[in-house]
């Protein structure tokens, strides 16, 4: 089947994954310190982090316009789209709007937009799943059914090293956030039906990452059939630690480490790690 995978830029990819499955990326944008940064291949992560540190306000993100999705839809016949959770961005809604506009003019093409109910490594794992099913020459209908089932079972967890953006965004009380930072309290968060939820909080980074490894076993099912995706923001040692510990304790069929692009960097901040399985 001649099929195409399109993702928004909250999907963190390696060049190897991108090339193997011929994945195209539609960029979101980030506004910080009155500067607009397009989250494309030219995005400078260190520049973004520096701007975030020097801003009193949380960065604001903007989803891709329907027109950007339309441009990608024009060139392919069978299209599978993956977006960040609809509860975190309007990227999904804009991809769906572009689909309706496009199919009103061209009825002989297939487009399905997946609401990842996740972000970062979660989107990565969904894109890989789609790519593997395309390689098996499954029908479009079978791919949709299997991927929607995969999304419903997928777990996304993350540990933040910095609470700055949560405090700036008003998602954490400023005084409580300062106290948590002072006592090195590390929140372990995760996805719950597409929204962010606090699952646990641990004192100290080492304990937080040990707890993250434990939670894989507590929350994971059929791990032998799955890939563990690990996305990190300038935290390669932590990502490698998670990979090594997961290899010791669990039987994932593969483990993939990726670096966060712009949107995931805004969510994770420096030192943050996101896992999905």
Q: What is the pLDDT of residue 162?
A: 73
Q: pLDDT for 63-107, tens place per residue?
A: 999 999 999 999 899 999 999 999 999 999 999 999 999 999 887
CATH assignment, 3-152 = 3.40.50.10170
* pLDDT above 80: residue 196: yes
| Statement: residue 183 has pLDDT above 60 | no
pLDDT band at 175 (very low <50, low <70, confident <90, very high): low
Token digits of residue 32:
């910080």
Residue 34 is given by DSSP the state T
**Residue 45 CB partners (closer than 8 Å, separation 6+):** 233, 234, 259, 260, 261, 262, 265
**Span(s) in the chain for CATH 3.30.1180.10:** 156-276
Q: Is pLDDT larger for residue 178 or for residue 133?
A: 133
In the chain, the percentage of residues whose pLDDT exceeds 90 is 79
pLDDT value at position 185? Answer: 80
Where is pLDDT greater, at 174 or 48? Answer: 48
Mean pLDDT, range 142-157, rounded to an integer: 97
198: which 2 tokens? 């606090």
Mean pLDDT score of the chain: 92
Q: What is the pLDDT of residue 56?
A: 84
Domain with CATH 3.40.50.10170 in the chain: 3-152
Whether the predicted pLDDT of 242 surpasses 80: yes
Per-residue pLDDT tens digits for 24-70: 999 999 999 999 999 999 999 999 999 999 988 889 999 999 999 99
The span from the CA of 268 to the CA of 165, in Å, is 9
The answer on pLDDT for 177 being more than 60 is: no
Predicted local confidence at residue 267, as pLDDT: 87
pLDDT of residue 182: 56
Closest alpha carbon to 119 in 240, 233, 224: 233
Task: State the fold for domain 156-276.
Answer: Hypothetical Protein Tm841; Chain: A;domain 3 (3.30.1180)
Tell me what the mean pLDDT of segment 17-28 comes to: 98
Q: What are the φ and ψ backbone dihedral angles of 91, each rounded to 5 degrees?
A: -55, -45
Q: Distance between CA 124 and CA 126 in Å, rounded?
A: 5
**What per-residue confidence (pLDDT) applies to 167?**
66
> Distance between CA 236 and CA 239 in Å, rounded?
5
Please check the confidence at residue 205 and state whether its pLDDT lies above 80: yes
**Residue 187 confidence (pLDDT):** 84
Question: What percent of the chain stands above pLDDT 70?
Answer: 92
Q: Residue 176: which pLDDT band, with cuts at 50, 70 and 90?
A: low
């Amino acid at each position: 089947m001649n099929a195409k995978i399109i993702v928004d830029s909250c999907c963190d990819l390696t060049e190897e994954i991108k090339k193997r499955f011929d994945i195209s990326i539609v960029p979101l944008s980030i506004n910080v310190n009155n500067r607009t940064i397009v989250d494309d291949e030219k995005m400078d992560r260190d520049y973004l982090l520096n701007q975030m540190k020097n801003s009193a306000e949380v960065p604001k993100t903007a989803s891709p316009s329907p027109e950007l999705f339309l441009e990608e839809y024009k060139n392919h016949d069978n299209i599978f789209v993956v977006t960040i959770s609809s509860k975190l961005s309007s990227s999904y809604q804009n991809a769906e709007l572009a689909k309706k506009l496009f199919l009103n003019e061209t009825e002989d093409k297939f487009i399905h937009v997946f609401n990842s109910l996740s972000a970062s490594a979660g989107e990565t794992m969904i894109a890989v799943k789609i790519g593997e099913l395309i390689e098996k020459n499954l029908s479009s209908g079978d791919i949709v059914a299997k991927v929607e089932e995969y999304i419903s079972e997928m777990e996304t967890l993350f540990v933040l090293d910095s609470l700055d953006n949560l405090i700036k965004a008003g998602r954490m009380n400023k005084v409580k956030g300062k106290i948590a930072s002072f006592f090195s309290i590390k929140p372990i968060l995760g996805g719950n039906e597409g929204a962010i939820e606090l699952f646990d909080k641990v004192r100290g980074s080492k304990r937080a990452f040990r707890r993250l490894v434990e939670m894989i076993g507590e929350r994971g099912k059929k791990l032998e059939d799955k890939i563990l995706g690990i996305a990190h923001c300038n935290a390669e040692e932590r990502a490698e630690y998670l990979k090594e510990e997961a290899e010791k304790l669990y039987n994932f069929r593969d483990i993939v480490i990726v670096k966060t692009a712009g949107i995931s960097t805004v969510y994770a901040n420096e030192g943050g790690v996101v896992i999905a399985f």
